[in-house]
Amino acid sequence: MTSNTLRDADLSYVLHPYTNLVAHETKGPLIAVRGEGVRIFDEKGQDYIEGMAGLWCASLGFNEPRLVEAATRQMQTLPFAHMFNHKSHGPGIELAQALIERAPVPMARAFFANSGSEANDTAIKMIWYMNNALGRPEKKKLIARKRAYHGVTVATASLTSLPANHRDFDLPIDRILHTACPHYYREAQPGESEDAFARRLAAELEEMILAEGPETVAAFFAEPVMGAGGVIVPPETYFQHIQAVLQKYDVLLVADEVICGFGRTGRYWGSQTFDMKPDILTCAKALSSAYLPISAVLVNERVYEALKSNSGKIGTFGHGYTYSAHPVAAAVALETVRLYDERDILGNVATSGARMQARLQALTAHPLVGQARGVGLIGALELVEDKATKRAFDPARAVAPKVVERAQDHGVILRAMAGDAIAFSPPLIISEAEVDEMIDRFTRALDEVTADLGA
Q: Is the peptide bond before 172 cis (omega within 30 degrees of 0)?
A: yes
Residues 313-357 have pLDDT tens digits of 999 999 999 999 999 999 999 999 999 999 999 999 999 999 999
Task: Tell me if 425 sits within 8 A of 233, measured CB to CB.
Answer: no
Report the chain (455 residues): mean pLDDT per 10 consecutive residues.
Answer: 85 95 95 97 96 98 98 98 97 98 98 98 98 98 98 98 96 97 97 98 98 98 98 97 98 98 98 98 98 98 98 97 98 98 97 98 97 98 96 95 98 95 98 98 98 85
User: How many other CB atoms are found less than 10 A from the CB of residue 92?
Assistant: 25
Helix (H, G, I), strand (E, B), or coil: what is residue 359? helix
Residues 6+ apart with CB under 8 A from 387: 367, 369, 370
* pLDDT score at 455: 65
At the top level of CATH, the class of 82-342 is alpha beta
* pLDDT score at 368: 97
Computed over its alpha carbons, how large is the radius of gyration of the chain? Answer: 22
Going from the C-alpha of 39 to that of each of 49, 60, 68, 278, 392, the distances in angstroms are 4, 11, 17, 35, 32
- Name the residue ranges covered by the structural domains of the chain: 31-63+344-453, 82-342
* pLDDT score at 418: 87
Going from the C-alpha of 244 to that of each of 47, 179, 224, 347, 379, the distances in angstroms are 48, 16, 16, 32, 28
Number of helices (H) and strands (E) in the chain: give both, helices first: 17, 15
- Write the burial class of residue 18 (CB in 10 Å: 0-12 exposed, 13-18 middle, 19+ buried): exposed
Helix (H, G, I), strand (E, B), or coil: what is residue 216? helix
Task: Tell me if 120 sits within 8 A of 282, measured CB to CB.
Answer: yes
pTM of the model: 0.96
Q: Whole-angstrom Cα distance, residue 311 to residue 288?
A: 30
User: How many other CB atoms are found less than 10 A from the CB of residue 185?
Assistant: 15
Question: Which superfamily does CATH assign the domain made up of 31-63+344-453 to?
Answer: Aspartate Aminotransferase, domain 1 (3.90.1150.10)
Task: Tell me if 117 sits within 8 A of 151, measured CB to CB.
Answer: yes
Q: Which of 431, 248, 295, 453 is nearest to 355 (CA)?
A: 431
Going from the C-alpha of 148 to that of each of 102, 179, 221, 446, the distances in angstroms are 26, 10, 9, 27
The torsion angle over the Cα atoms of residues 259, 261, 265 and 267, rounded to 10 degrees, is: 180
3-state helix vs strand vs coil in the chain, percent to 5 = 45, 15, 40
Phi, psi (rounded to 5 degrees) for 30:
-90, 120
In order, the DSSP letters of 240-277 are HHHHHHHHHTT-EEEEE-TTTTTTTTSSSSHHHHTT--
Task: Tell me if 54 sits within 8 A of 32, measured CB to CB.
Answer: no
Q: Which amino acid is at 441?
A: R
Sign of CA dihedral 125, 130, 131, 135: positive
DSSP state of 222: E
Q: Whole-angstrom Cα distance, residue 364 to residue 367?
A: 8
Do β-strands 369-375 and 378-383 pair in parallel, antiparallel, or remain unpaired?
A: antiparallel
* pLDDT score at 454: 81
